[in-house]
A and B are shown apart, each in its own frame.
Chain A
């Protein structure tokens, strides 16, 4: 049923379209005061912000929220993103008013309770990763990567070895890896993977040398398989004088089972918004804590929570003079860190291991069922880790139905699409990560939807190619979006002024 006046078939009105001159959310107005600012410093033209009532704003954004798929409402098997349940308890207790109202620069004597949580979080992250030290400040995985590569750079420079300016990454790596290396002033050397998904060791041996600063790996890799020759890779890197970087994107697959520190990694970042279930929030905030082995401890980004006779304290540039520095104005995304802390305490020691076990169980179960339903696995001879790749190259070649078409059609079935077209080296791929928090019947429902779409590619391929059909909008024109840039609302011609 259409809600007349709210939705006219031309899309949801913007908050600006709902604006009327002189209307206000009156309960939100501070008392009228005169500011003592000289007139020449005053703004000349008022900013054009919406003028709406509180109910209008509440209704507008509530309605917008309902146009989203989310973990709370749909299965969301987005590969490489670990879309597991975000416990409400984590949110609730991270948002206690005392935590929310704490100013970042308030004396530490006023924040010992909060600092205790962060200190224990550092300790727990060291324990699950096998690292010697952790800094919680990076605000996202990409910032964690930046911190990691910057520490590698600082380590070599401190030894007078500034010639090491190359970072080796497998070609299947996340795009952030090469982008990060560039931001750190490094050159990127990509090496290929073998047909079975493991790293090409010969190519690695040829690539390493006196210029190699580090080797960046994800394990399990972005191909959804465990890198079996990790010990050899670590040895090759070590012999070449390079450091080994662990991209923690896939840590969920090995939590409590294998520790990056034990595999020989020198430095890593963790995506707390993946493995430790802090919310993705429609694209952030994340948290990308970094962990390091002994050699890199002096370079950790500041601040870090330390402990002395007076209690918990922030350690900064004065305590760690060789630090790579500060990546944010304050202490990183503390509210996200608290959520990760609460989650880890609720999961506990045995829960860590179970996370990996059930994530891997769900992935292998889903893979087995989808193969039986007629889908082709990209690495059929390998165990899936916590995720796996299907390739639809046959469907694309024979019926013209692409991975993107499949993804869009899944939305009609109330299932969020898997990751498409990543990793780029597998043609027409779907990267599927169910996570441990999904029940068997949810996975069975996904298999049923995939099976139905596969049948449609024969009976009614157009239906798939023009999907979605049941969402608030049909397939959107990305080319138009990029060519005719419409990035901010403008008053329509003849509108109110």
Chain B
């Protein structure tokens, strides 16, 4: 009877008030031939102690790796206060703030979150978050097609240097609405999307160009030149950015003459544990002129009956519960709790703290790359400046090396050969501020010993 509080006496009283003699009678409208048999495939109930022991054993079996994988999810230190507060019951067990007066905590947190994302990205407005970075890119592509009224064709230029999982996700989500995703190659020497590669699309009708910064390889794109090219050709710019990097490198509003138009990204680096892939959150920011094309929830500040400030969800007429089939998206939730954690994280770090994290991650990755490149048969694949991730080229398949290092408790990196076979044997590695010089040495020594 886990979590059901009723006593037998109460059940009798309640049935009496309803006017039936057994709970089963309450199901009398369900045709008898549809009744389910006992659920043989479900184990009998376990107590919290029993399931706790099982989970602890399984967790212990998995252990904690020394992690050097990035590829879209990044290990950062998370201040203890972040989740201690985010998991307070008042945040954890609240619903979407539809009753604004009873949800001022969540709503003000959203407003502060929107303000922080706008500040980080340099954009005018932000929504209250989307599911994750990849699905946020899909939504951004759909939004760009709605917002770019000049373009008659829903064509999106999608560089191959964009995270392959993001490209697949965007195609799966936006594909049914007939968006055309066109591939743009990268320069194999620098690891950047070359503005020249765009020229073959010069005469085409394009709704938007996607620019990931830093790109999947960790390389820093010439975002200004790419942005200006897009705007000169009537296309909007959808930026996919790493939020930690924005403490150091140009924010999307600074790209080129006019800056990016829609900015999305994976929020996970901002205080969210790796958690095997989720829950994370996607952020989205844009210019005020496109605010009505933006999907998802938005909180706004307003006044109450007495003229005091307060917060409420606004622009809801764009959303599914009102506009139904003509909504901007079918999305209902934001990732409220995860967004709350990120807001607390950014409050604790501030611009200074985030700069330090970014600089440390950048420096630690340079150390890792320098150290691994001293191993025979290992070298950086690209020459462009990078943030906190690098693609390494090996003289042999990396799969067996990754497996061997896993047995030593080291998550060595992401084997990129499947996504970029033309680059040969490649491994994408990342070292954040959580890694020490000893960690780097341990990785390098283990890899060297395998050769």
Contacts and interface: CB of A to CB of B under 8 A. Distances in A.
B29 A382 contact: yes
A449 interface: no
B31 to A, nearest CB: 7
B290 interface: no
B104 A110 contact: no
B350 A476 contact: no
B118 interface: yes
B1 A102 contact: no
A332 B78 CA distance: 21
Contacts of A368: 17-19
Interface string A378-389: 000011000000
A365 B17 contact: yes
Given A110-B411, A331-B278, A349-B38, A281 B92 contact: yes
A263 B31 CA distance: 10
A50 interface: yes
Given A30-B433, A35-B359, A58 B81 contact: yes
B118 to A, nearest CB: 4
Contact of B4 (A103, A358, A466): A358
Given A112-B62, A327-B135, A329-B72, A477 B304 contact: yes
A282 B94 contact: yes
A49 B115 CA distance: 9
B100 interface: yes
A472 B45 CA distance: 42
Given A57-B347, A346-B47, A285 B299 contact: no
Interface stretch (A122-130, A203-211, A455-463): A122-130
A183 B280 CA distance: 23
B327 interface: yes
A284 B353 contact: no
Interface residues of A, number: 201
A480 B304 CA distance: 10
A344 B42 contact: yes
A70 B95 CA distance: 7
B94 A68 contact: yes
Contacts of B190: none
A330 B165 contact: yes
Interface in B93-128: 93-97, 99-106, 108-109, 111-112, 114-116, 118-120, 122, 124-126, 128
Interface stretch (A226-234, A240-248, A395-403): A226-234
Interface in A406-424: 407-408, 411, 416-417, 422
A374 interface: no
Interface string B51-87: 1101111111111110101011101010101010101
A24 B347 CA distance: 9
Contact of B347 (A61, A85, A116): A61
A325 B172 contact: yes
A204 B308 CA distance: 51
B346 interface: yes
Interface in A117-168: 117, 123-124, 126-128, 130, 139-143, 145-146, 150, 153
A52 B109 CA distance: 16
B80 to A, nearest CB: 9
A282 B91 contact: yes
A317 B83 CA distance: 35
Interface stretch (B193-201, B202-210, B229-237, B248-256): B248-256
B438 interface: no
Nearest to B72: A329
B43 A439 contact: no
* Band of interface residues on B: 35 or more
A346 B93 contact: no
Contacts of A327: 135, 169, 172-173
A324 to B, nearest CB: 6
A141 B96 CA distance: 14
B90 A65 contact: yes
A178 B325 contact: yes
Nearest to B177: A185
A301 B172 CA distance: 9
A127 B273 contact: no
A285 B302 contact: no
B302 A476 contact: yes
A329 B19 CA distance: 52
A225 interface: yes
A193 to B, nearest CB: 15
B36 A417 contact: no
A408 B298 CA distance: 21
A14 B93 contact: no
B138 to A, nearest CB: 9
A42 interface: yes
B93 A348 contact: no
A333 interface: yes
A61 B65 contact: no
A91 B92 contact: yes
A68 B315 contact: no
Contacts of A440: 5-6, 10, 13-14
A472 B106 CA distance: 13
B145 interface: no
B45 A92 contact: no
Contacts of A309: none
B131 A328 contact: yes
B390 to A, nearest CB: 12
A277 B414 CA distance: 34
Contact of B81 (A57, A103, A475): A57
Interface in A37-61: 37-38, 41-52, 54, 57-58, 60-61
A316 to B, nearest CB: 10
A225 B29 CA distance: 9
Interface in A456-489: 466, 468, 471-478, 480-482, 484-489
B249 A130 contact: no
A335 B278 contact: yes
Contact of B101 (A62, A176, A338, A473): A473
A382 B108 CA distance: 41
B347 A50 contact: yes
Contact of A143 (B39, B92, B135, B402): B135
Interface stretch (B180-188, B360-368, B373-381, B442-450): B360-368
A37 B46 contact: no
A349 B39 contact: yes
B247 interface: yes
B249 A183 contact: no
A486 B302 CA distance: 7
Given A62-B85, A325-B172, A12 B108 contact: yes
A459 B14 CA distance: 31
B94 A280 contact: yes
B332 A329 contact: no
Contact of A348 (B43, B89, B95): B43
Contacts of A282: 91, 94-97, 103, 105-106, 109, 336-337, 340
Interface string A330-363: 1111111010001011111111111101101110
B275 A485 contact: no
A117 B165 contact: no
Given A70-B92, A140-B333, A346 B51 contact: yes
A497 interface: no
A349 B39 CA distance: 6
Contact of B104 (A347, A353, A472): A472
6 contacts: A30-B77, A47-B120, A139-B279, A140-B333, A282-B340, A383-B27
Given A31-B356, A68-B94, 11 more contacts: A47-B119, A49-B351, A139-B132, A179-B325, A346-B45, A354-B1, A477-B303, A477-B304, A478-B302, A487-B298, A488-B126
